[in-house]
Structures are given as structure tokens and as C-alpha cells.
Structure 1
Amino acid sequence: MQEFFIRFVLFVIIWILMIYETSSQLTLSFFMLTASLALFFFLSKRDISVYVYGILSMVIFLHGLIIHDFLYSSLLLLLITTMATFRLSNIKNLFLLIVNLLFSCSLLIPHLEYLVPVLLVWGFYAFLLIKLNKMELLRKEQKEIYEQLLAEYRHLKRMHIASEEVTKAEERTRIAREIHDSVGHRLTALIMKLEMLHIQHPNEQYIDLKQMANESLNETRQAVQTLQESETKGITAVVQLIRKLEAESQLLIQFTIKDGVLSIPLSNEHGIVLYRVIQEALTNVMRHASSKHVHISIGKSAIHTLAFSITNPMTNKEKFEFGFGLSNMIERVKEVEGQIEIYQTDEEFVIQGMMPYK
């Protein structure tokens, strides 16, 4: 924006100098100035057509032709050509360069003795502009490649984090199952055997041994329960994981966590599904949405369901298609007997659903 303002000021200064020093038709000159300023402001748009540059050059040329000005009109044409160098493709930039060169030479018809020096200046300047245009296009291409690689790196990093969490949860579940199946069953059998021995041979030592075995069994059950839980329980774990994604993806995420949600006894399975749904939604935002704003809402109902919604503003009105990520998201939610809706309105893209919890 600062660069555009500097160019605008320079553009206005050259126009004012031209009107002040060479124009004898002030009304016409100010009318042409107003028209050129209106066209100039269109140049600030992201996707600008070469025709806007061409029309602006035509206005400058016609004004210079009417008031018989060459110097200031040529400076304005050079300025417009320079601005186009950083915005247009090679062919369009070359087309505008040739058009403005012809306009400038046409203004020189009453002074043909200066034609050769002017052509030399324009030729040297055109060479520089063509080089600058190629460098700018190369820079933009490298920037796009860098952004694509960065997005892919962030995606892989998020997948790695998620895989680590899932692997940890699966490993804890496996260890807990092995402890329950081996140690738990053996302790239960030991308690029953001690009970039978005490009945057959009443002895205080059997009672003490049975009490120790019961305590060991209770401790084993507590260990199994701890292993089956996440390192941080319930929604808190999901929130922490999403905060990591927010820091890595540079998205602007607004969280709304309604009353009572943090106390929901969310299982590992449901927590992983919720996390994967939000992760895939954020991935879609980074890949397809021009806006980086995302609103995530998590709440609960009186019928023991966890409700969630992820929305982001839509500027691209193209209809979305169900890819692998969205289809996989739907399957995950259905596996935990949940429901999910994915749709697009005129203003936003919406993913919302619910999952039962105990």
C-alpha cells in the first residue's frame, strides 16, 4: 500500500507540473486528470487487466497530443509502463511497452530531430523493464513454490503430531489390556485360592495374604484405568492439540467452549475423533480458503451429546466437492455413533456434528 501511495503522489505531481507549465486548456486538462486518477485507482486491484493500463495510457497520450506536450506525457507513460512491469505477464508487459513507445514517438512528431535520442532512451529503459519483469515473475513463482512447500511441511508436521498422540493412546490401551489379562486375572485367582485355603485351614496369615492380594488388585486396576486415559483428560487434551496446530498454521482461530464442556468424561476414542475432525477442517481452510479466520465451537446437550462446529468465511463461491479428507471425517464420526453435516452457504463453509458420550 505504501508503494502504491508513492506512485500515486509521483503521478499527481507530474500531472500538475504538466498542467502548470504547458497547458492552456485548464478545463480539459483537469477533466483528463480526473479521468486518469479514476483509472489509476483501479491499478491497486490484485487482478488488473492490461486494458486498464492501455486506456490510462490512451488518456495521457490524447491529452499530450491536444496540448502539444511531449516531456511530461512521456514521463507519465514511462511511469505507467514501470508499474505494469511488476504486475503483468511477459507478453502483456511487452505489448504495453510497445504501445506506450508508439504513443511517445507520436507526441514527438513536431520535433523529429529528437527522435533518435528518445528511441535510444526508450530502448535502454525497455531492456531494463523486460529484465525486471522476468525477475519479478521468477520471484513470484519462487514465492508460490515456497508457500506450497511450507503448507506441505505444516501438514506433515500436523500429521506427525496426530500420529504420535494416536500411537501413544494405542500403546497405553495395549499395555493396559495386557496387564488386565495377565496380572489382574492371576491376582483374582490367587485371592480365590487364599479364600478356599482359609475356609479349609482357618489361619490369620491367609487373611493377611488375601488383604495384600486385594490391595495389589486394586492398585493394578487403578494403573490400568490411568493407562487407558489420555495424558490430559477429555476436551482439555483436544484444546491443547488444536492450540499447537494454531501456532504452526498461523490461522486465526476463535474458540468458543461452552459451560460444562471441560468436565465431559471424553474417552480416548471420542477425543481422537474430535481432534481429527478439527484437524481436517483446519487443513481444508489452509488449502482452499482465502481467509485465515476460523471459528470452532464445542458444547454439550442434556442428552449426553458433545456438539461441535467449525466455520470459516467464504470468498470463493465455487461449489466444494467431497474429497478423501471430508469423506474420512464422516466415517470417523459414524464409527462412534455420531452425526455430522458439511455444507456451504453464500458466506461461510460449515462443518457441524455431535457425538454421544457416557
Structure 2
Amino acid sequence: MRSYYIKFLLFLLLMTGAISAAYPHTVSFIILLFFSTCILGLYFLLPIIKKKIFIYLSILFLIQLVALAVEKEVFLFLAILVLFILMESSQAVSIKAFRVILLSTIIIHYFISILVFHYPITLYGCAALTVVILLFLLNESKQEYLQIKDTYESLLQEYRIQKRQAFQNESTARMEERNMIAREMHDSVGHKLTALLMQIELLSIQEKKESYAMLQNMASESLEETRKAVRILQAEEMQGISSVIHLIKKLESENAVHVHLTTKQGVLRMRISNMQSAILYRIIQEGITNAMKYSSSKEVFITLGVSPIRHLTIEMKNAYLHKHPIYDGFGLKNMKKRLEEIGGKLNTFQIENQFILQGNMPVEEIEK
């Protein structure tokens, strides 16, 4: 939208120049003032009209209609204005539509220049031909750029779909493998331990020895550990920092953002509760959401570490090239509140074209 306002300001300056040149000539001034209002009104419609070819043709027709009734010095401003509109339309319409606009405008303008204002045929003809070629090439390059952009976006979308599908397939394959291992442990190891326990019980009944009781306890504990391992393998929920890493991978696969994750020494040995894991995940999710909204690079750098007081720390960085500051929205305010409730803290900074989010939280326990 900013580019539209810049172009509108330039358009307005050209119109003002034409009106100023026509001011000493009362008739030309009144005619130009009336048609300038109509032209400006049409120009305002450009951002909201899909079929822009009709707006551009109407503007160019009105400009050249005015050119028939003004003096030569005013005509020069109008000629520059025509060139400006042609350059803008070359970026806004298709090649076919631009050919219609360009050829119709140049033919009419050429005859006005030669028949009404008596410009040299050869000189003006060469200038007009040069302008036509340059504008046509400009329009073609714009259309090629749009085609490349569309192709890139379609490929990017396909890449996201494939990446998401690969992540789902990987999760499914991992779960199937875990289930297979769990079944093998249950059917093979579990059954054999059960049979061994039964044999030890029979022997302990036949022969009253303390060693059988000890073997029976060891077999019972092994069977219980095997059942526990089977339950863990069959469970989908992950715990600790590994669950957060898994969720970061999921976020990256579902969004057009690249996450660079760094874990410092001691982080992966941390045990955090489900609530702390959920809070940490929401902080990362909110940071990635902000990066997708405000960053042009679509890259997020995440660092997980351990503070001197044994708190889990998180730092997220992404490029931010805009001049206006980022205000804490509902998501960040909510995260700050939740961290404060468990004794943590969350801060945001903007320095050197970067947006930085820093937080820390106490953890329940660190494994030795």
C-alpha cells in the first residue's frame, strides 16, 4: 500500500504541474481542472477494482482528450503523465491487456503530437517506438517475475505438504516400531519370565530353600520392569526436554519457518513436569508465531540452557527490520503471567534489527 501512496503523490505532482502551466490560459485551466478531478477519482479506484485495464484506458483517454484543448507547454506535462500511467499499468495488468493499452494510447498520442502540436514526425516517432519497446519489455519481465513467484510459492506449498507428510510418516513408523518392540518384549521376554517365575515357585514348594525365594523376587522384579518398559514403549506421550524438541520439530514441519535449535550442556538431562513442558512449548509457539508475522527471513534461533541457579533458560531470536516496535500481545502477556506463577520470568527486547525473547523457569529436579 505504501508504494501506491508514493505513486499517487507523483501522479498528483504531475497533475499539479499541468494545472500550474495551464493557469495563465483561462479556458485550458478550467478544462484541465474539471478533467483532473475525474482522473483523480478514477485513480482512487485502482486498488479496489480487479479489471484495472478499464480504469487505465479511461484515465489515458481523458488525459489525451484534455491534450486536444490545451497549450503546448501543458501538453508536455500531459505527455509525461501518459508515460507514467503506461509504466504503472505495465506492472499491474497482463501482457495481452497491456498491449491493448499501449498500442491504443501510443497511436492516439502520436497523432495528437503530430497533427495538433506539429512535433517532428521522425524524432517523435523514434521516441514513441523506443518507449513502446521499453514498456513492453518491462511488462514482460514483470509477468515473468510473477510466473516465477507463483511457481516458487506452489513449490514451497508442495514442500510444506511433503514435509508435513514425511513428519507424519516418521511418527507413524516410529510408533509402529515401538509397538512391535513392545509386543516382542511382552510375548517373548514377558512370557519366558512368567514361565521362569512359575518354575521357581514350584521348586520353592518342593524344596524349602531361601535361595529360591531370592530368585523368585528377582524374577518378579524383572517381570515388573519388563511390563513397565512395555507400557512406556506403547505410550505416545513423551516427557522432559525431548518432548519439547519433538514439538519444535512438529511446529517447523507445519509452518514456513526454519528453526535453529541449540541445547547447552545439561539441558537434555533436565526433568520437567508436564505443566512446565506445556508452558515452554507455548512460549516457543508464540515466538515462532511472532517471527512468522513480523520477520522477513522466516528463521528463528532457539537456545535452551541452564542458568547458574539451575533454572531452565530459553532465548529466541529472529530478524526484525521494521522501525515500529512490537507490542506484547495477548499471547506474550499470557505467557509472562504463566511463567511468573511458577517462579519464572519472560522478557522481550529489540536490538540491532533483532527481536529477542528471553525466559527462565525453575525445574523440579535435575538427574545426576
**1:2 counterpart residue number:** 2
Unmatched tracts of structure 2, length 5 or more: 259-273, 276-368
**1:35 counterpart residue number:** 38
SS of 1:151 mapped into structure 2: helix
The yes-or-no answer on 1:121 pairing with 2:127 is yes
The yes-or-no answer on 1:50 pairing with 2:53 is yes
- Cα-to-partner distance string for 1:266-291 (whole Å, 9 max, x where unaligned): xxxxxxxxxxxxxxxxxxxxxxxxxx
The one-letter code sitting in structure 2 at the alignment partner of 1:90 is: I
2:184 to 156, 178, 186: 178
Report the CA distance between 1:249 and its aligned residue. Answer: 6.0
Contact 1:70/1:104 (8 A) holds in 2: no
Distance across 2 between alignment mates of 1:147 and 1:81: 28
Report the CA distance between 1:231 and its aligned residue. Answer: 5.6
> Judging changes above 3 Å, is the alpha-carbon distance between structure 1 residues 110 and 137 closer, same or farther for their aligned structure 2 residues?
same
The one-letter code sitting in structure 2 at the alignment partner of 1:107 is: I
Contact 1:42/1:48 (8 A) holds in 2: no
Q: Within 5 Å, which residues of 2 pair with 1:69-108?
A: 69-108=74-113
Report the CA distance between 1:91 and its aligned residue. Answer: 2.2
CA RMSD of aligned residues (A): 2.5
Distance across 1 between alignment mates of 2:199 and 2:46: 90
**1:296 counterpart residue number:** none
Report the CA distance between 1:241 and its aligned residue. Answer: 5.7
| Matched pairs, number | 251
**1:146 counterpart residue number:** 152
- Cα-to-partner distance string for 1:313-345 (whole Å, 9 max, x where unaligned): xxxxxxxxxxxxxxxxxxxxxxxxxxxxxxxxx
Distance across 1 between alignment mates of 2:191 and 2:119: 108
1:163 to 163, 169, 173: 169
1:248 to 256, 280, 296: 256
- TM-score normalized by the length of structure 1: 0.64
Report the CA distance between 1:217 and its aligned residue. Answer: 0.6
Distance across 2 between alignment mates of 1:120 and 1:208: 107
Distance across 1 between alignment mates of 2:150 and 2:233: 45
Percent identity reads 31
Report the CA distance between 1:41 and its aligned residue. Answer: 2.1
> Judging changes above 3 Å, is the alpha-carbon distance between structure 1 residues 162 and 13 closer, same or farther for their aligned structure 2 residues?
same
Distance across 2 between alignment mates of 1:120 and 1:232: 74
Q: Within 5 Å, which residues of 2 pair with 1:1-358?
A: 1-23=1-23, 24-25=26-27, 26-45=29-48, 47-68=50-71, 69-108=74-113, 109-230=115-236, 232=238, 242-248=250-256
Contact 1:50/1:92 (8 A) holds in 2: yes
Contact 1:50/1:96 (8 A) holds in 2: yes
The one-letter code sitting in structure 2 at the alignment partner of 1:60 is: I
The one-letter code sitting in structure 2 at the alignment partner of 1:226 is: I
Report the CA distance between 1:176 and its aligned residue. Answer: 0.6
Q: Which moved more, 1:65-74 or 1:151-160?
A: 65-74
Contact 1:184/1:221 (8 A) holds in 2: yes
Contact 2:22/2:32 (8 A) holds in 1: no
Report the CA distance between 1:5 and its aligned residue. Answer: 2.4
SS of 2:118 mapped into structure 1: helix
- Cα-to-partner distance string for 1:138-180 (whole Å, 9 max, x where unaligned): 1111111111111111211111111111111110110011000
Contact 1:176/1:227 (8 A) holds in 2: yes
> Judging changes above 3 Å, is the alpha-carbon distance between structure 1 residues 207 and 65 closer, same or farther for their aligned structure 2 residues?
same
Report the CA distance between 1:45 and its aligned residue. Answer: 4.2
Contact 1:173/1:228 (8 A) holds in 2: yes
**1:342 counterpart residue number:** none
Contact 1:176/1:224 (8 A) holds in 2: yes
Distance across 1 between alignment mates of 2:236 and 2:62: 70
SS of 1:202 mapped into structure 2: coil
Report the CA distance between 1:230 and its aligned residue. Answer: 2.7
Distance across 2 between alignment mates of 1:154 and 1:111: 60
Contact 2:190/2:226 (8 A) holds in 1: yes
Report the CA distance between 1:7 and its aligned residue. Answer: 2.0
**2:343 counterpart residue number:** none
Distance across 1 between alignment mates of 2:167 and 2:249: 8
Distance across 1 between alignment mates of 2:49 and 2:22: 35
SS of 1:43 mapped into structure 2: helix
Contact 1:194/1:209 (8 A) holds in 2: yes
Distance across 2 between alignment mates of 1:11 and 1:218: 82
Report the CA distance between 1:11 and its aligned residue. Answer: 1.3
The one-letter code sitting in structure 2 at the alignment partner of 1:47 is: K
Report the CA distance between 1:105 and its aligned residue. Answer: 2.5
